[in-house]
Amino acid sequence: MYKIVRFFLFLFNPEFVHHISIKFIKFGSMIPGKMWALRLLFKVNDTRLEREVFGLRFDNPVGLAAGFDKDAKLFDELASFGFGFVEIGTVTLLPQDGNPKPRLFRLKEDYAIINRMGFNNEGIEAAVARLRRKKSNIIIGGNIGKNKVTPNKKAVSDYEICFEKLFPYVDYFVVNVSSPNTPGLRDLQEKVPLIRLLNRLQKLNIQKEKRKPILLKIAPDLSNEQLDDIIAIVADTKIDGVVATNTTISRNGLKTIKTKLEAIGNGGLSGKPVKDRSTEVIKYLADKSNKAFQIIGVGGIHSAEDAIEKLDAGATLVQLYTGFIYEGPGLIKRINKKILEKFGL
């Protein structure tokens, strides 16, 4: 059924389809019984799926990655699709339009997407206003970044203010310094500026009555030496874990013709081509750190088997984005059923 829906959706511009889909889901939620029907179709209710991770109880280990619900418009509705958690954002301090359009491209031959959105969002205040009206009990992650106009030497301030404003309304934080679509952002992944940033956020965190988990989202393009630095940074700053991985700037091994890729230009690649490298990063971090911290595995999950592969590599939770778009909401149910089949007692 979803393949038919996808066929028609893929006839149109991907960013247009994204916005229309959000409006359609939002409108559908107003129809009596619609959300109940979705839960009946897609949600797997089984206590064996529950996970206790960094002090939070997740109904199941399958979440929605940041980028889909950038402005916290849809988290309650997405809970009805069977997700165990939803990560909003990336949210920045001030509203920003992002990069010029077109900036979102499908690589259908590769079951992939290239995006150079550039943290387009309505800003932290708009996100907070919607989070205040939360109705469901789904766990919410807040993915935070810096504005494009903010120089790196002042980036810490953007992250601090976003952290403070979101703190009462999200359950955990993800610090995004790994998007390839904001100029200079990945420079913040270097050891010295990253330790400074995370220590500042941790200082704010421990001043709260009850601290909240902080995770770092990293790129798949890091070398082993850089991954070693990440392990050391997590230990030094005592953050709670890592989200592995973001999109890649690599174009290796794609089926899409070179002329099309050249016409598209720069951007982060997500989907099936990222799967193996993402899993390699997860396994490297888990093995080298002796599983010293939690890992949320994301990147190229298009089947239940892909998710199991991430969990076997060392991830505790997994997230979907591109796979959700290509495979539909039925993928969440298939993953949860496979987890029960493999790990259920």
For strands 62-64 and 317-320, give the pairing: parallel
Candidates 231, 249, 307, 243; CA nearest to 275 is 307
Cβ distance 284 to 227 under 8 Å?
Answer: yes
How many alpha carbons fall within 13 Å on the CB side of residue 168? 9
Does the annotation count 178 as an active-site position?
no
Catalytic residue (one of 21, 29, 80, 179): 179
Torsional class of 275: left (φ above 0), alpha (ψ -120 to 50), beta (otherwise): alpha
d(CA 185, CA 155): 9
Cα of first residue to Cα of last residue in the chain, in angstroms, is: 32
| β-bridge mates for residue 281, sequence order | none
- Alpha carbon of 316 to those of 15, 205, 303, 339: distances in Å? 31, 23, 17, 12
- Longest Cα–Cα distance of the chain, Å, equals 55
Per the DSSP assignment, residues forming a β-bridge with 112 are 107, 271
Q: Which two tokens stand for residue 214?
A: 């902080």
- Residues with a catalytic annotation lie at 179
